[in-house]
A and B are shown apart, each in its own frame.
Chain A
Amino acid sequence: MGTKIHTSSQYEKELKEVKENLIYMGALAEKAIREATRSLLERDSNLAREVIGADREIDDIDEEIEEKCIRLLALRQPTARDLRFITAAIKINGHLERIGDMAAKISEKALALNEEPQLKPYIDLPRMAEIAEGMIRKSLDALINEDCDLAHQVRIEDEKVDNLNEQIFRELLTFMMEDPRTTHRAILITQVSKSLERISDHARSIADTVIYMITGKNVRHTDSEQAIKG
């Protein structure tokens, strides 16, 4: 009896560790986006290089979480709730890792952009970054607190980011048509914008996974309105 209590509390501890690691990884991803955006806005190449270097840490945690999850699956044979949590964790882990890669990519673009004069003042990019960052936080909060409403909110915000991305693309198109010499910079900026859009997509996928984990309903391929009604 004594050993059983010991193992189950050990199991609880391992589950809690996975949760903690996910939050930590989420915080790292948020930080990466924040700093990548700042390196672009403030033309701070050192910061950009730091972000690229920090992606390593995210990759390490990615491996660590995956390993922990697989070990939990293999050794503890979790059922019901715990099983859903662990599978969700594996998926979310993958998304966060990709977000980290995107942040590094933004920083690479920032490095290239910092070599040339600023094309235009950035207005929509910081807003996109801010929303994307908030989406990651909210989706992870939704995971920890099992909060479906918050997860739905993330889905709605994804649309805002998509709209901003299109807006930026249209704006840069006019720049390129007016003055072909800006093409290189404009393309770099559209790539940054695209990366931010991808980040928000990943955040939305995390939210979808959370909703699936809580309700058992698959909302991945429905739009946000329907998801709320359903």
Chain B
Amino acid sequence: MKINLFYKLFGTYVVIALVAVIIINLQMGAHIKATIQERVEQNLLANSHLLTLTSSLADLENTVDRIAAIADARITLITADGRVVFDSETNASEMDNHLNRTEIQEARVKGQGSATRFSRTLRIDTLYAAIPIFRGKEIEGYIRLARPLTEVKKSIHEMNIVLLQSFLFVGALSFLIAFLFSARFVSPIQEMEQFTTRLREGEMPGTLLISAADERGRLARNINHLVTELKEKIDLAQEEKGKLEAAFASMTDGVLVLNNSGAIEVVNAAFTHMFSVRYADIEGKTPLDAFRNIALQKALDRFRGNGVPLSQEILLEEGDIRAVDVTISPIRGLPRNDEKTMLVFHDVTRLKNLEKMRVDFVANVTHEIKTPLTAILGFIETLKDGAIEEKEIARHFLETIHNHAQRLNRLVDDLLTISNIEMGETKMSFEDLSLISVIESVLPIIEQQAARKDIKVKKELPDALPPVKADRDKVIQILLNVLDNAVKFTDREGAVSITAHDNEDGRVAVRISDTGIGIPKAEIPRLGERFYRVDKTRSREMGGTGLGLSIVKHLLMAHGGALSIDSRPGRGTSVSIFFPVAKEENGISR
């Protein structure tokens, strides 16, 4: 059993009090008993002296009977040779010689004597006191007074009861006081103990209220002080931790931490997103086991080989293929046997795509220029080699050269247009424009083209549309490009339709649909890219530069408009163009 401070203290107090009371009681009892005996003895001796003062032995023999009743004592008269001549309680003649009795011997020698003894005559504990009776200088005999000790015993017994009562009273009182005092002394200590226990278990128990002014009070104040400081430090640490965690979680780069045995310890949200995994599925696995990515594993092996931080590009091939730049470095400042490795993943897919687009662009431009140029050079060479003499052939060749030169010219024009729009150098002369009139002005050109392929051009225009804020020439260019595409990619006897309506979100929509070959869904997002062709050979045969939609997209962006393409392969394509409506103040419909 746990012995606590209270019981220790209380026990000690009670034991001390009880021992003190017991010792006092024992001593007092002994003392009082001695005093009572002495008083009885004194009393007996004094009476004896009084009796012998005036009387001789013979006189006493006559008067002693009455005296015994008065003195409340048994009186015995003994001659000098020890013979009992009188006894107030029994017949003297039956008693034996008393000369060798202690009290008599003592009296003979010292002049008085006393003894306590069991009386054989009275069969009772008795106190005897004896003095000699003198006649002149001679001892004539002895007078002995005796009183039974029963009385003494009785008073001692009474005294003992009183002492016991006092013992019980004092004991109970000291018990109570010890209890109260111990409890009062111990309770603040217990409070502090409970307080610190809760503190140790991680609770924040508030403030310790101890009113004691002594060491306990000071101890409590110190504890309070420590708790306050601890709280501040924990708060500070938590704040710091919170900041770091927030930064870690909200990083756009993926972070992965490996523990010293190479297993995944921590990842952040960006990482799980980037690798499309759940933390629970990869926790504790090695990166190889979790991702099965050879490039990543090779990079890790290389890092483990020499311990030098490294950065490498890897491909993630789960789902969409993405290029990721991984940086592997050790986490510094950790204990020697707990080395961790940090991998930071930076998604460079967009960058890679841009880079690829740039490279592609250069390659495309070169290719696009090279093709007509080769043809031109070839025909010129043939002409130089003599074909120029044959008029008919020369004419045909010149026609071809002209066509190719025109194509080159268109290409360069388109490139210039794009680069001007991109660099913001195209002057846009915005005016409030009625799209209906622009569409009407464009349609004849297209109808002519369409007629050659027996394509029907249908229009479905409302009577009035809100005016749009646009550059007339650029709008014509946009519409022509889109319509041209529609006709180009629609087979003979197909249909192209153009409709316009107020989109009622501050934009006017023009929709151009065809019944052409359509575009696979996956290709649609790439349509605005320069030189991007869905079907490479076919498009080029049709004389396109591969820049048409790109120009449309850029021009629309310059207008604050938008482009949306919807298509089903084999069924046709519909292109929606959105122009912003002109502001009300000068909004006059034309």
Residues in chain A within 8 A of chain B (CB atoms): 20, 23-24, 26-28, 30-31, 34, 137, 144
Which residues 258-303 of B have a CB within 8 angstroms of A?
286, 288-289, 292-294, 297
Shortest Cβ distance from B301 into A: residue = A24
Nearest opposing residue in chain A for B317, CB measure:
A34
Do the beta carbons of B317 and A23 come within 8 Å of each other? no
Contacts of B286 in A (CB 8 A): 20, 23
* Contact residues on B (Cβ < 8 Å of other chain), bracket: under 10
Residues of A within 8 A of B294 (CB): 24, 27-28, 31
Assembled-state Cα–Cα distance A20/B293 (Å): 13
A20-B286, A24-B294 are known; give 11 further A-B pairs, CB within 8 A. Answer: A20-B288, A23-B289, A23-B292, A24-B288, A24-B297, A27-B288, A27-B293, A27-B297, A31-B294, A34-B317, A137-B292
Q: Which residue on A lies nearest to B291, using beta carbons?
A: A27
A44 CB → nearest B CB, Å: 13
- Report yes or no: A144 in contact with B289, Cβ–Cβ below 8 A: yes
Q: Name the CB-closest residue of B to A136.
A: B292
A31 CA / B294 CA spacing, docked (Å): 8
Flag if A27 contacts B317 (CB, 8 Å).
Answer: no
6 pairs of residues in contact across A and B, judged by CB atoms under 8 Å? A20-B288, A24-B288, A24-B297, A31-B317, A34-B317, A144-B289
A20 contacts across to B, CB distance below 8 A: 286, 288
**A26: which B residues are within 8 A, CB to CB?**
292
Chain B residues in the interface with A (C-beta under 8 A): 286, 288-289, 292-294, 297, 317
- Give Cα distance in the complex from A175 to B191, angstroms: 93
CB closest residue in chain A, given B293: A27
Residue of A whose beta carbon sits closest to that of B295: A31
Question: How far is the CB of B324 from the nearest CB of chain A, in Å?
Answer: 16
Nearest-neighbor residue (CB-CB) of B286 within chain A: A20
Q: How far is the CB of A226 from chain B (nearest CB, A)?
A: 31
Tell me the nearest residue of chain A to B285, going by C-beta.
A144
Interface pairs A-B: 3 shortest CB-CB: A27-B292, A27-B294, A23-B288
> With A and B bound together, what is the CA distance between A20 and B294 in angstroms?
12
CB A37 to nearest CB in B, in angstroms, measures 12
Chain A's nearest CB lies how many Å from the CB of B284? 12
Q: Smallest CB–CB gap between B578 and chain A, Å?
A: 35
Complex: how many Å from CA A24 to CA B288? 7
In Å, the complex CA distance between A66 and B317 comes to: 29
Whether A30 and B288, one on each chain, are in contact in the complex, defined by CB atoms closer than 8 angstroms, is no
**How far is the CB of A23 from the nearest CB of chain B, in Å?**
5
Minimum CB–CB distance for A103 against chain B, Å: 13
* A137 to B293 CA separation, bound complex (whole angstroms): 12
A15 CB → nearest B CB, Å: 14
Q: In the complex, A137→B288 CA distance in Å?
A: 12
Which of B288, B292, B297, B317 has the most chain A CB atoms inside 10 A of its CB?
B292
Do the beta carbons of B289 and A30 come within 8 Å of each other?
A: no
By a CB distance below 8 angstroms, the chain A residues around B292 are 23, 26-27, 30, 137
Shortest Cβ distance from residue B299 to the other chain A in the assembled complex, whole angstroms: 13
Residue among B289, B293, B297, B317 facing the most chain A CB atoms (10 A cut-off): B289
Chain A residues near B293 (CB-CB < 8 A): 27
Q: How far is B293's CA from A24's CA once the two chains are assembled, in angstroms?
A: 9
Give A31 to B321 CA distance when docked, in angstroms: 13
Q: Which residue of A lies closest to B297 (CB)?
A: A24
State the CA gap A39–B293 with chains docked (Å). Answer: 19
Q: Which of A24, A26, A30, A34 has the most CB of B within 10 A?
A: A24
Chain A neighbourhood of B317, CB < 8 A: 31, 34
For B288, what are the chain A residues with a Cβ–Cβ distance below 8 Å?
Answer: 20, 23-24, 27
Question: What CA separation (Å) do A46 and B293 show in the bound complex?
Answer: 21
Q: Which A residue sits closest to B289, measured CB to CB?
A: A23
- Shortest CB distance B494–A (Å): 24
A30 to B294, CA, bound (A): 10
Taking CB atoms, residues of chain B closer than 8 Å to A31 are: 294, 317
A25 to chain B, nearest CB (A): 10
Interchain CA distance A92-B447 in the complex, whole Å: 69
Closest Cβ of chain B to A126, distance in Å, is 13
Q: CB-CB < 8 A to B289: which residues of A?
A: 23, 144
A26–B293 alpha-carbon span in the complex (Å): 10
CA distance A34 to B297 in the complex (A): 17
Residue from A23, A34, A144 having most chain B Cβ neighbours under 10 A: A23
